[in-house]
Structure 1
C-alpha cells in the first residue's frame, strides 16, 4: 500500500496542499492485519491519525511571519480543501478524538461601563440585565466543584467591569482568592476581567491563573464601529501585560458584528502574527441581545463559522480553538464539522455569562455518539504529539 506525503507550500500568497513526488511504503504490519480468510482488516482510526500526522508533520510550522496575502490565501480556499488541510494540521498537535470541556461563570454580572454594542451587560443599553455584586468565594468554589464533577477541566470566570482598577483592591483580592481556590481543585483557571496593568497581571499569575481571556472581537479597522469606550490598542496592551506576567493568552473574536470577510482576515492576521500565538483562540458567533444596538443582526451562516475555524487551525496549529458563544444554534452535525475543521474545546453549562448555552445532557449524548472524550487539564499542545507517536510507528 502506498500513502502520499502532503506538502504545505506557499505559492503566490496562497497555501496549497499537493502530493509530493516521493512515496513511502507501509508494510502489512503497519496498516493492519490479515484475517483467516485473507481479507484485509482496516487500521483502527487512531493508527490512521498517527500516520496522517507523521506524514504532514515535517511541513507544519508555527509561524508568526504570515503576510496578509498569505492569510487571505488560506482563508479563501475551497471549503472542502480548507477543512481537509485543517484536519491534517490538527492531528500533528492534538488527538482529534479529544475535546476539552470548559465552564464559564459570570462572577460579577451587569453594570459594565463599556459600550460594546453586542453586550447585554453594558450599562449603556436597556437590556433587562440587572447589575449584581461580585459573587462570594464559597459560591464560586461550589460552582467550580460542580463543573469538575460534570467533566470540565477548565473553569473560566468573567466580571462585567472595565478592569480591576475600576472596583478597587478589596474586590480584586476576592478574585485572587477565587483563582487560588479553583486552582486547588486541579482545574485550569481562566479569567476575563477587562483591562489589566502589570501589577494586576503579576498578582493573577502568583495566584495560579492559567490563562487570561481578552478578545480582540474584530479587526483593527472595524473595531471603532463596535466599541467606543476603549481602543484596539488598549486590548493589545493588556495582552502584552498578560504575556509578560507568564500567563497564557486566550484571545479570539466574534462573528456577526457587521464585519466583512476582509475584517475577519485582518483579525486572523493580527492573531497569527503575534510574537507568540494565543494558547487559546475562542471563535464566537453573535447571539443578538435585546436592547443592544446589534439586536437585529442577521445570524452567521454555518459555513462562515466553519471557514473561520479551519483557517484558525492552519494559521495557529498549536492553539486550542474554542467553539464558544452561539454553539446553541448549531446542529450536532455542524458541531462535528467544526471538530473536523480543528475546533477542540467547547463551553458546557446552562449559560455563557448571560447567553444561553447547550444543555449538559445534549453535550454528553453528542460526545457518546461522535466517540469523543474530554481532555485532561494542563496539557501542552506545543509539544507535538508526533514526538510520542513516531516511536510507535517505527516499531
Structure 2
C-alpha cells in the first residue's frame, strides 16, 4: 500500500503535477485501485439553506452582498423544506446532504439553533450531514458535533500567497483555525479549493501542500472549477481546462491516497468522457442535483446514466462510521 505522508514539499508536488498527463493518470489510477472500493463514488447533494447577502468579498461568489449578480436574498429555509430536499436527494442516490449558508461566520442566535435542528432531522434520515456555514468557534463546532454533524466544509480556495487577491475580509489563518476547531470536535473535515481564479500553477501546488501537510489529511478534498458569474470580479475569467482539473485530481489522489477527492463545481461544462478521465484519475465523489448553491449542476438522472455507462456505483452512507466515530482516513504504511 502507498505510504501516507504529511511532509510533502512543493518541489515534490510540482514534479507530480507536471508528469506527462497519461503517466500521471496511470500513477493516480494505480493508487486509487489499491482501494478495493475504487468504483464507488459518493453522491452528495448541496442545498442553500440561507442565500445571498453575505458580508464577505470572495471574488468568485455571487452571494456577496457587495456584488450585483441577480441572486435574491433569502432568509433561512424552514426545516420541513430542508427535510423534503434531503428525502428527494436520498431517493436520487445521494448519501450525503450538505447545507450551505451565506454567512461570514456562525453566530450564536436563533438561526444557528434552527441549523442544529436541521442537522438532527437529516441525520435521522440515515444520511451523512455536512454543513458549510463560514467560520466556527470551538464551542459551535462542538454543538454541531453533538447534533450529529458528520462533516464540515471550509475550503482554502487558493494558496496562502494568492489569498489576499481573492478575499480580503478574512485571513488564511482564520480558515485554518476553523479546520482545527472542526477536527477537535471530531467532525470529518472537507476542505479543498477552486482552480481558474487566475491563480498560477505554483498557487495550486502551494494549496495542495497546505492540505497534505495538515496533522491529518482532510477526509474530503473538493476540486472545483470556477463557474464565472456576471457581476463578480472574476466574471470574465476564461473557463479552466478539463486537463487542469484532471491534473489537480490526480495529484491530490497521489499525495492524499486515502482521501475522498470530490469532482465539484464545473461539471456542467464537462462531457461524460472528460468526467470519466477525472474518475480514472482518482475522483470518487460528486455533487448531484440541479444546483450547487446558486450555480447549475447536472441532474440526478443524468448522473445515474453516466454511472451506469462507466460501471460506477453510489457509495453508501457512513462508510467510515457514524458521527463522532469517524475512522482515521490514513493508515501509515
Name 1:52's counterpart in structure 2.
none
For 1:373-384, list aligned pairs within 5 A: 373-380=313-320
Describe how 1:180-219 pairs up with structure 2 within 5 A: 180-219=120-159
- Counterpart of 2:98? 156
**C-alpha deviation, 1:208, in angstroms:** 0.4
1:117 aligns with 2:59: yes
2:21 to 79, 95, 107: 79
Residue of structure 2 in register with 1:327 after alignment: 267
Count of residues paired in the alignment: 326
Which of these residues, 70, 77, 84, is aligned with residue 135 of structure 1?
77
- Larger relative contact order (Cα-Cα within 8 Å, sequence gap ≥ 6): 2
CA gap of 1:305–1:121, structure 2 versus 1, over 3 A, is same
The alpha carbon displacement at 1:109 in A equals 0.4
Q: TM-score, normalised by structure 2?
A: 0.96
> Residue 66 of structure 1 aligns with which residue?
8
The alpha-carbon distance between structure 1 residues 195 and 150, as it changes in their structure 2 partners (threshold 3 A), is same
1:125 partner SS: coil
**Residue 310 (str. 1) matches residue 250 (str. 2):** yes
What is the CA deviation profile of residues 117-164 of structure 1, one whole-angstrom value per residue up to 9, with x for unaligned ones?
100000010011111100011110111011111110010000001111
Q: How many Å apart are 1:92 and its aligned residue? A: 1.8
Cα deviation, residue 383, structure 1: 6.9
SS in 1 for 2:189: strand
Report the CA distance between 1:249 and its aligned residue: 0.4
Corresponding position of 1:107: 49
Structure 2 alignment gaps of length 5 or more = 321-326
Map of 2:286 onto structure 1: 346
Q: Is the counterpart of residue 252 in structure 1 residue 192 in structure 2? A: yes
Q: Which has the larger radius of gyration?
A: 1
- Of 85, 89, 94, 2:31 maps to 89
Per-residue CA deviations over 1:148-188 (Å, capped at 9, x if unaligned) read: 111100100000011112xx421101000000011110001
SS at match of 1:364: helix
Structure-2 residue corresponding to 1:285: 225
Q: Which runs of 5 or more structure 1 residues have no equivalent in the other structure? A: 1-56, 386-395
SS in 1 for 2:33: helix
TM-score (norm 1): 0.81
Residue in 1 aligned with 2:117? 177
Q: Which residue of 1 aligns with 2:303?
A: 363
Aligned with 2:76: secondary structure? coil
C-alpha distance in 2 between matches for 1:218 and 1:384 = 24
**Residues in 2 aligned to 1:257 and 1:65: alpha-carbon distance in whole angstroms:** 27
Q: Answer whether contact 1:93 1:317 (CA < 8 A) is retained.
A: no
> Equivalent residue for 2:324?
none
1:92-130 superposed Cα distances (whole Å, 9 cap, x missing partner)? 235222111110000000000000010000001001111
Secondary structure in structure 1 of the residue aligned to 2:40: coil
User: 1:291, 1:338 → 2: CA distance?
Assistant: 30
- How far did residue 384 of structure 1 move? 8.6
What residue in structure 2 maps to residue 98 of structure 1?
40
Quick one: structure 1 residues 292 and 193, their matched pair in 2 at CA, closer, same or farther if it must change by over 3 Å? same
Partner SS state of residue 229, structure 1: coil
SS of the residue corresponding to residue 186 of structure 2 reads coil
Matched, 1:337 2:277: yes
Change (3 A) 1:94 1:193: farther
Q: Report the aligned-residue RMSD.
A: 1.5
The C-alpha deviation readout for 1:243-275, integer Å capped at 9, x for no partner, is 011111000000110000000000010001111
Aligned partners of 2:4 and 2:330 also within 8 Å: no
